[in-house]
Amino acid sequence: MNRLRGVTKKALFLPLICLVLVLLLNMIKDPGFFSIAINNGVLYGRLIDILNRGSEIAILAVGQTLVVAASAGTDISVGSVMSLSACFCSVLLAGYGVNSTDTFRMPMLAGMLSGVFVGGVCGAVNGSLVSKLKIQPMIATLILFTAARAVGLLLCNNQITYLRYEPYKYLGNFIPGCPVPTPIFVAAAVISAAFLVLRKTSLGLYIQSVGINNRAARLLGINSARICFLCYVICGLCAGIAGIVASSRIYSADSNNIGLYYELDAILAVALGGNSLGGGKFNMAASVVGAYTIQAINTTLLALGISTDQAPVVKAIIVVVIVTIQSPVFRAWVLSRTGRNRKAIKEGAGA
């Protein structure tokens, strides 16, 4: 019993329960939801879809968690930065004004890495505005939220640039001979890199202390501004990686639509993970679980066949339920209820 209570107290417990609840919703209509098979040489099933489609949100959530923890604010530019890095990559590979190409002007990997690099540059811009100029994070990132997508459009000459070169599709789809969708590997790599850095270095501790009290951290000898800046750069790099994956899925740079509204999903992932948007203590694993929960909701809505005009309402209801379950007030209430019950049982036994 005590061990069980110990488990329920863990920060990861509630987000995981919520994820499982969302998945169980599907039992109502189709138990086949959970089946995984090999079809056409690749893994095939709804759960695989969730892992695959959730990759971008999970990657963004990693960066967003750090930003939220260090600066008590959100980076709302990640969706636009995704679009910009995809456009930058495609313009390098295809050339300016090219509508569709199957030969690249430079090595594919160099183009992709440049795209990710541009994401990092965007993160650095956000980071300097927030950490050096002390502009509120939402305002500072609002600049790139509006500008990055527009710059992407300009780079692509206001059109969708298609990169019809088979290996370009690998990152967002499948590598021939490998049954697992590549985005899952990318997300896994980003997440494990984040965990390694947080576990093996004291960066995580520094970020928490900066987030809890930035001045106290500085008095302790932590360069608060640099830590905060670093978080934004990491967040930008994550957005860059997510942008390249999203672009590879559709082997094109669709500047209008890549990463559209993803910043909201990234922030929601952090919140669904039970992390406070007020900064300070954070749990990376919980954010990642939050990210996959969002994708589970999306996949579930499609699987349940809920008509598109009603889907946002259903999604909202699910999110409200999850957030309520996670809220401290609700938890306290549940604890008090169960506590009273236990007391009542005890009294009953006594009498």
Partner 1 sequence: MRKLFALILALALALSMAACSGGASSTPTPAAKQSAAPSAAPQKLIKVGFAQVGHESDWRTASTKSVQAALSKEKGFDLRFVDCDNNSAKQLEAVRSFIQQQVDYIVIAPIVSTGWDTVLTEAQNAKIPVIVLDRTIDDSTKYVTWIGSEFTNEGLAAGAWLKDYAKAKNIKDLNVLVIKGTTGSSAEIGRTKGFEKIAKENGWKILDQQDGNFTQDGGQKVMESYLKSYKDKFNVVVCQNDNEAFGAQDAMKAAGVTYGVNGKVILISFDACKAALKQVLEGKINADFQCNPLQGEFLADAIKKLAAGEKVPAKTYMKEPWYVAEDILKSITYTNNAGQTVTEPLVKVTQAIADAAY
Q: Where along the sequence are the contacts to partner 1 (CB under 8 A)? A: 30, 32, 39-40, 42, 44-46, 49, 53, 100, 158-160, 162, 173-174, 246, 249-250, 252, 254, 256-258, 299, 302-303, 305, 307-309, 311
> Locate tokens 């910009």: which residue?
84
In contact, 86 and 171? CB cutoff 8 Å? no
Measure the CA–CA gap between 349 and 351, rounded to whole angstroms. 5
In contact, 73 and 58? CB cutoff 8 Å? no
Measure the CA–CA gap between 245 and 83, rounded to whole angstroms. 11
Minimum distance of partner 1 from residue 273's CB (angstroms):
23
**Pair type for strands 37-39 and 42-44:** antiparallel
Minimum distance of partner 1 from residue 168's CB (angstroms):
13
If you write DSSP's letter for every residue of 106-118 in order, what string do you get? S-HHHHHHHHHHH
Minimum distance of partner 1 from residue 56's CB (angstroms):
10
Nearer to partner 1 by Cβ, of 146 and 201: the residue is 146
If one counts every other C-beta atom within 10 angstroms of the C-beta of residue 29, the result is 12
Nearer to partner 1 by Cβ, of 11 and 160: the residue is 160
> Token digits for 66?
């750090």
Nearer to partner 1 by Cβ, of 58 and 284: the residue is 58
Nearer to partner 1 by Cβ, of 74 and 83: the residue is 83
Minimum distance of partner 1 from residue 41's CB (angstroms):
8
Minimum distance of partner 1 from residue 102's CB (angstroms):
13
Nearer to partner 1 by Cβ, of 150 and 216: the residue is 150
